[in-house]
Structure 1
Amino acid sequence: MTTFAIIGAGPGLGLATARRFGAAGHAVALISRSARNQDKLVAELAEDGVTARGFTADALAPASLAGALQGAAAALGPIEILQYSPVPRADFIKPVLATAAADLDDPLAFSLKSPITCVDAVLPGMRELGRGTVLFVNGGSAVRPHPERAGTSIAFAAESAYAAMLHDALAPEHIHVAQLIVPGAIRPDAEHSSPAALAERLYRLHTGRDGFRHFAEPMPG
């Protein structure tokens, strides 16, 4: 059994993707800051027959993410699929003219340094397997900067550039890197942007291995 690891596991998209990949036979590593929330998700997944375990780490503390991923691989099996989709903090979202250089420290750690650390942690195992998938989930500001959301616009753009380069560099090793852009809110009643619909889309990106950037919905305007 190989493992699906999600950074930013929560009761919405995180739980939905855990269910989808778990139903396909993968063990699930739920990585987030709250052990209490992880316990709830593990219990829900157990009712569906999914093997899952929580690992506590903070997306603003890259070393904690590396430790959690190493622990997950040791406990559950090699990580074949990594999903990086934590929700940015509200204070990352400031107008560009109110954003100082120091205001970008946390957004860049969250959206660039931590993803790089996570990929470095799982690559040896993927290479040993001879395959792997890395999935990045971002909002629309990753491809269309918004002047009222400078922190996430800048940090997501950096994450997108890193992920695109990673896609090209790892393709010869049968490790697929893909990005899913979700332009609007994730809502249970949305046809294409509900947690369940996005989970299915992410699973298809893993199995289809077709291209780098994909959109859950057309970008408005």
Structure 2
Amino acid sequence: MPKVIAVLGVGPGLGLSIARRFDREGFTTALVSRTETRHASYRESLSGTTHTYAADVTDPAQVEAVLARITAEAGELDTVYFGPADIAGPRPVPLPSAGADAVRAAFDAIVSPAARLVEAVLPGMLERGSGSLLFAGGLSGKYPMPMLGSLAPASAALRMYVLTLNAALRETGVYAGALTIGGLIERGDIHRELTKQDHGFAMGTLDPDDIAEKAWSLYVERDVAEAEFTAMAAV
């Protein structure tokens, strides 16, 4: 039976590139995004067996339900990719003016869904003694980037969550890895939106296919917990 990867938070940028990279290795792909609007085009771009689902990855009940559907229709999950970046998600608020609610909103959109996802899928992986968990996060979780304001603490928490999870899972057969990204991902929704107008800061672009290739290397080699990508002039 083919292995199964679930791509949660799939979009036309990195999520789809991740799906294509694992599809080339014979994986069955299960793609999850907020709406079904672009699912037909996603399926057309993949050569193997693909399932598509509409669910909000920040809603615990919807995530639980969609994971159950994926398992029933595609099979046990070998790999889960979680990409929380969403143009509809919380916008950065400068930290000097951000209150607790703004900071908490980023945690609710980024960190809590990641932890709930792990809570749902990790027990089965541990029981089998195999599996992989891949998470995309922001470089503001590693270096101070004031323009990302209230999003930075959540990025830092997600990064450390994944790195600590990686260390805790050694010798279990289950791998956790972080893709730490600084820059706009080409073809993605956020890239398209931010390049429409001047937001007062410049960010370079990154090719999602390059990031997906590294994600595959993390999956295969499992010797490091993190891969960093930056198109920033200085951090």
TM-score, normalising length from structure 2? 0.84
In structure 2, the partner of 1:43 is 44
Q: Give yes or no for the alignment of 1:116 onto 2:115.
A: yes
Task: Return the alpha-carbon distance in structure 1 between the equivalents of residues 233 and 170 of structure 2.
Answer: 31
Give the alignment of 1:42-191 within 5 angstroms.
42-45=43-46, 49-88=47-86, 89=88, 91-187=90-186
Asked if the contact 1:179/1:214 (under 8 Å) is kept, the reply is yes
- The one-letter code sitting in structure 1 at the alignment partner of 2:49 is T
**Deviation string for 1:147-196 (max 9, x for gaps)?**
232221011111112112211111221111111112112236xxx93111
Task: Return the alpha-carbon distance in structure 1 between the equivalents of residues 230 and 90 of structure 2.
Answer: 26
Runs (4 or more) in structure 1 with deviation over 6 Å come to none
CA RMSD of aligned residues (A): 1.9
Deviates more, 1:134-143 or 1:120-129: 120-129
Q: CA deviation at 1:68?
A: 1.2
Asked if the contact 1:140/1:219 (under 8 Å) is kept, the reply is no
- The one-letter code sitting in structure 2 at the alignment partner of 1:70 is A
Number of equivalent positions: 215
**Deviation string for 1:56-104 (max 9, x for gaps)?**
2113212212221221111101111111113144643110022111112
Q: Give yes or no for the alignment of 1:206 onto 2:219.
A: yes
**Deviation string for 1:26-75 (max 9, x for gaps)?**
11110110112223212322xxx211111221132122122212211111
Could you tell me the percent identity over the aligned residues? 29
Secondary structure (helix, strand or coil) at the match of 1:144 reads coil
- The one-letter code sitting in structure 1 at the alignment partner of 2:130 is R
Task: Return the alpha-carbon distance in structure 2 between the equivalents of residues 78 and 220 of structure 1.
Answer: 42
Identify, as 1 or 2, the structure richer in helix.
1
- The one-letter code sitting in structure 1 at the alignment partner of 2:65 is G
Asked if the contact 2:206/2:231 (under 8 Å) is kept, the reply is no
- The one-letter code sitting in structure 2 at the alignment partner of 1:195 is P
- The one-letter code sitting in structure 2 at the alignment partner of 1:178 is G
Q: Give yes or no for the alignment of 1:196 onto 2:213.
A: no
- The one-letter code sitting in structure 1 at the alignment partner of 2:82 is Y
C-alpha change, 1:42 and 1:128, in structure 2 (3 Å) is farther
Task: Return the alpha-carbon distance in structure 2 between the equivalents of residues 106 and 181 of structure 1.
Answer: 20
Asked if the contact 1:177/1:212 (under 8 Å) is kept, the reply is yes
Deviates more, 1:75-84 or 1:141-150: 141-150
Asked if the contact 2:90/2:109 (under 8 Å) is kept, the reply is no
In structure 1, the partner of 2:190 is none
Secondary structure (helix, strand or coil) at the match of 1:29 reads strand
Q: CA deviation at 1:129?
A: 3.0
Deviates more, 1:122-131 or 1:165-174: 122-131
Asked if the contact 1:19/1:50 (under 8 Å) is kept, the reply is no
Q: CA deviation at 1:7?
A: 1.2
Q: Which runs of 5+ in 2 are unaligned?
A: 188-204
In structure 2, the partner of 1:26 is 27
Task: Return the alpha-carbon distance in structure 2 between the equivalents of residues 62 and 151 of structure 1.
Answer: 23
Secondary structure (helix, strand or coil) at the match of 1:137 reads strand
C-alpha change, 1:90 and 1:63, in structure 2 (3 Å) is closer
Q: Which runs of 5+ in 1 are unaligned?
A: none
Asked if the contact 1:27/1:51 (under 8 Å) is kept, the reply is yes
